[in-house]
Structure 1
Amino acid sequence: MNLLELLLPALIIVLISLPLVNVFKGKTSLKQARTRLAAHTSMFFAVLCAFVLFEINGFHVFAEGDVNAVNSIVGTAAQGMGFLAAALATGMSALGAGVAVAAAAPAAIGAFSENEKNFGKSMIFVALGEGVAIYGVLISILIINKL
């Protein structure tokens, strides 16, 4: 592995994370947030182009003589799509569950603060939102078991 193959991915990761520093510090306005969103989008496409260039230029992760390591990770396109489908099922269901819980939990807290008898009813809606993520994980497990 040469120095370029070692330092370039680390540099790309640093460049992607730089626009978020002030967001995490809480020192941003709406205009700055839009600028950071544009920077992240352009960084994403820059990373995508970098990976395409790595593939075109023939950079190799494994040593030239290590044929067994390369053959052990080779799979079919269908397997790759299956793993991608499993990842998307988990990720998108977790995203949907996060949105559902983000809407249901504050409402549940508000209902509980007004009347303590509403606790059980309100927690059911929060649990239903989290159930979406569990269903996504189960679908992912079923997809991976078929591969």
Structure 2
Amino acid sequence: MIAWLIALPVLAAAFAGTRRLLRRRDKAALRWILATDAVLFSGALALLLVALSGGAAQAHTAQAASAQSSGSGSAALIGAAIAVAGASIGAAIAVAYTGAAALAALSERPELFGRAMVIVGLAEGIAIYGLVVAIILIGKT
């Protein structure tokens, strides 16, 4: 897990550099982008190898039982994060469309305010469902 925390700022910096290079239109920029992609790919491959080999080495130590219990806890936390992130993104997309449609309907007929807000509220409920799933997953650890 610590390897991902170390690699995340490096990936963010590489992404920012690639974005800056994409704005240029010469062949040197293309070479830099290809070199950056090759470095990122090799770094991701090295990070994957470290993550996979580290788990096998720890399995033979005396702390294997504690590693198994913390592994299931971290899997539940990752699942909770994915549930909240997915539900929040889905709710954001739903609110964007329903909110735009509600504003268009309100501009023509203002008496539809109550109905429009109910529909937007239903779209926001998707995020609450993701939060409930996350709380259930965290409670199981």
TM-score (norm. length: structure 1): 0.59
Does residue 125 (structure 1) correspond to residue 119 (structure 2)? The answer is: yes
Does residue 105 (structure 1) correspond to residue 99 (structure 2)? The answer is: yes
Cα distance in 2 for residues equivalent to 1:42 and 1:107: 45
Q: CA deviation at 1:108?
A: 0.4
Cα distance in 2 for residues equivalent to 1:80 and 1:96: 24
Cα distance in 2 for residues equivalent to 1:57 and 1:95: 34
Cα distance in 1 for residues equivalent to 2:98 and 2:7: 43
Partner residue in 2 for 1:86: 80
Cα distance in 2 for residues equivalent to 1:105 and 1:121: 12
Where does structure 1 lack aligned partners over 5 or more consecutive residues?
Answer: 1-6, 28-40, 59-71
| SS class of match (1:131) | helix
CA contact under 8 A between 1:12 and 1:47: conserved in structure 2?
no
Partner residue in 1 for 2:138: 144
- Structure 1 residues 108 and 22: alpha-carbon distance in aligned structure 2, compared to 1, 3 A threshold: farther
Aligned letter for 2:73? Q
Where does structure 2 lack aligned partners over 5 or more consecutive residues?
Answer: 1-5, 24-36, 55-65
Partner residue in 1 for 2:44: 48
**Cα RMSD after superposing both structures:** 3.5
- Structure 1 residues 13 and 43: alpha-carbon distance in aligned structure 2, compared to 1, 3 A threshold: farther
Aligned letter for 1:76? S
Cα distance in 1 for residues equivalent to 2:121 and 2:40: 34
Aligned letter for 1:116? P
CA contact under 8 A between 2:11 and 2:40: conserved in structure 1?
no
Identity %: 29
